[in-house]
Amino acid sequence: MDFPQYMGMGGQGADLSETQLADNSETVHISSLALLKMLKHGRAGVPMEVMGLMLGEFIDDYTVRVVDVFAMPQSGTGVSVEAIDEAYQAAMMEMLKQTGRAESVVGWYHSHPGFGCWLSSVDIGTQQAFERLNSRAVAVVIDPIQSVRGKVVIDAFRLIDSSSAMSGVEPRQSTSNIGQLHKPSIQALIHGLN
């Protein structure tokens, strides 16, 4: 599943009819495996929110590839979720290294069961913590209740500096080179491992 993430004033009530914004969207590629695991985890947690880490790689300045996810122990309510065990995160990453997996943490996901995709103030705090570790970290929100009949309700977010958004300046100057994206093999497609 691919979807763009738009930076700038879009979605903040700006009148875009008179403003020409540069195309600086990012694409987040989410593998079928990662998407199914997020949906299954989200549905298992209803009515509470759940969260987990996303593993993958940053292909280039405009492309993020998520290949797998793993659930995190947390304390959640119907409207917020907070990670409570950083030691668990570190231990899981160490175990992944021992298995020879080359992926790194590219962000986190969490569910909003029945109330759509957006970042609450608690979510923004969590995303700020992730962005302190890696400025390109992505927050994905999935709604397992509204995701029905083949339509997945999902969105990706990254925080932007409000001062640069107000000035209309885009700090990134490079373009995407999607050619670096590794295409799945026939064997991987046959076994549903894309």
The answer to the question of residue 16 being in a domain is no
Q: What is the pLDDT of residue 45?
A: 92
The answer to the question of residue 13 being in a domain is no
The answer to the question of residue 74 being in a domain is yes
The rounded percent of the chain whose pLDDT value lies above 90 is: 39
The answer to the question of residue 18 being in a domain is no
Total tally of structural domains belonging to the chain: 1
The mean pLDDT value of the chain amounts to: 79
- Which residue range forms the structural domain that includes residue 139? 24-190
The answer to the question of residue 3 being in a domain is no
The answer to the question of residue 15 being in a domain is no
**Residue 43 is part of a domain; what is its CATH number?**
3.40.140.10
The rounded percent of the chain whose pLDDT value lies above 70 is: 69
Using one digit for the tens of pLDDT, what is the confidence trace for 121-178? 889 988 998 888 889 999 999 999 999 888 999 999 999 877 766 676 665 554 455 5
| DSSP state letters, the chain | -EEEE--SSTTTT--TTS-------EEEEE-HHHHHHHHHHHHHHTTS--EEEEEEEEEETTEEEEEEEEEE-EEE-SS-EEE--HHHHHHHHHHHHHTT---EEEEEEEE-TTS-S---HHHHHHHHHHHHH-TT-EEEEEEEEEEETTEEEEEEE----HHHHHHT---------GGGSPPPPHHHHHTT--
Higher pLDDT, 186 or 76: 186
The answer to the question of residue 117 being in a domain is yes
Higher pLDDT, 97 or 183: 97
